[in-house]
Amino acid sequence: MRLEGKVAIVTGAGGGIGQEITNQLAQDGATVFAWDISEKIHSQADEMNQNLDAKRVIPVQIDISDIAQMRSKVEQIVEEKGKIDILVNNAGIMQTIPFLEIDEQSWDRMLDTNLKSVFFLTQAVVKPMMDRKQGRIINISSIAGRSGRPVAAHYAASKSAVLSLTKSAALAFGEHGIRVNAICPGVIMTPMMEQINRDRARIFGKENEENVAVNEFLAKVPIKEIGYPSDVAQQVVFLCLPESSYVHGQAINVCGGYEMN
């Protein structure tokens, strides 16, 4: 119970990676406000709580791109718990669309969900964290944010910007006791990856093949293995522990060597 007494917010807590992050933080003793746009978050939280010795996963159905709603939820948590120790900006969407076909609506939705929410949620939690001179913020970016994606340029741009935001926040708040880092997952088996498989099969005319995206990406992964949500969640837990207090403003790749920068 290394995180006993800690209060965390995890966004996208109902998805593949978010669920596992929520689970591992709660297993380690944290109280986790599990935010997700889907109503399924309620039944998912019930399930997670059944495997814990106390009800430590608190479901919140929320659209993180609604900034006013998000700010008021943060205020509610601070009022109720007196603090926020950990924020994991994990929620994200991905759309496979060729560069020339991305329209303004897709661009705005992508950037509102993957980037604007990260900025304003960070802004909202930093104030209570600064008051107590401690806090951990972990942003889930992507290997795509390290390079680029010809059929998901808006996604890659949003994830690159998350890396920049991570550094700006680290520079701004490090001396106030707050540690800010990012994680760049590679090929992780989740509902998002299954959708990418289907989309790439459609776009590249490979409807009869299975795992089109995973196979294509795996060819570039030196260890020839796909990753699982627990691979990402373990790094998140590490970044919440005292052992990582000298790790700051960094982006850790969890990708089996897909990228080496």
Ligand X SMILES: NC(=O)c1ccc[n+]([C@@H]2O[C@H](COP(=O)([O-])OP(=O)(O)OC[C@H]3O[C@@H](n4cnc5c(N)ncnc54)[C@H](O)[C@@H]3O)[C@@H](O)[C@H]2O)c1
Contacting positions for ligand X (CB under 6 A) = 11-12, 14-18, 35-38, 63-65, 90-94, 113, 140, 142, 185, 187-188, 190-193
Find the catalytic residue in 155, 228, 246, 258. 155
Q: Which residues have CB under 8 Å from 139's CB, separation 6+?
A: 89, 118, 162, 163, 165, 166, 180, 181, 182, 183
CB of 18 to ligand X, least distance (A): 5
User: Is the separation of the CB atoms in 149 and 110 below 8 Å?
Assistant: no
Which of these, 99, 129, 55, 86, lies nearest to 233 by C-alpha position? 86
**CB within 8 A of 112, min separation 6: which ones?**
65
**CB-based contacts of 80: which residues, under 8 Å, 6+ apart?**
none
Nearest to ligand X of 188, 201 (CB atom): 188
Quote the CA–CA distance of 166 and 250 in Å, as a whole number: 8
Considering the complex, state which of residue 153 and residue 246 has its C-beta at the smaller distance from ligand X.
153
Give the nearest distance from C-beta 132 to ligand X in angstroms: 26
Q: Which helix (H) or strand (E) holds 182?
A: strand 178-185
**What is the chain's percent helix, strand, coil content, to nearest 5?**
50, 15, 35
Catalytic annotation present for 246: no
Nearer to ligand X (CB atom), residue 1 or residue 12:
12
Q: Which residue in 255, 9, 208 sits closest to 118, CA to CA?
A: 9
* Closer residue to ligand X (CB): 7 or 221: 221
Closest contact distance (angstroms) between CB of 247 and ligand X is 19
Q: How far is the CB of 191 from ligand X (least distance, A)?
A: 4
Q: Which residue is nearest to ligand X (CB)?
A: 15
Catalogue the active-site residues. 155
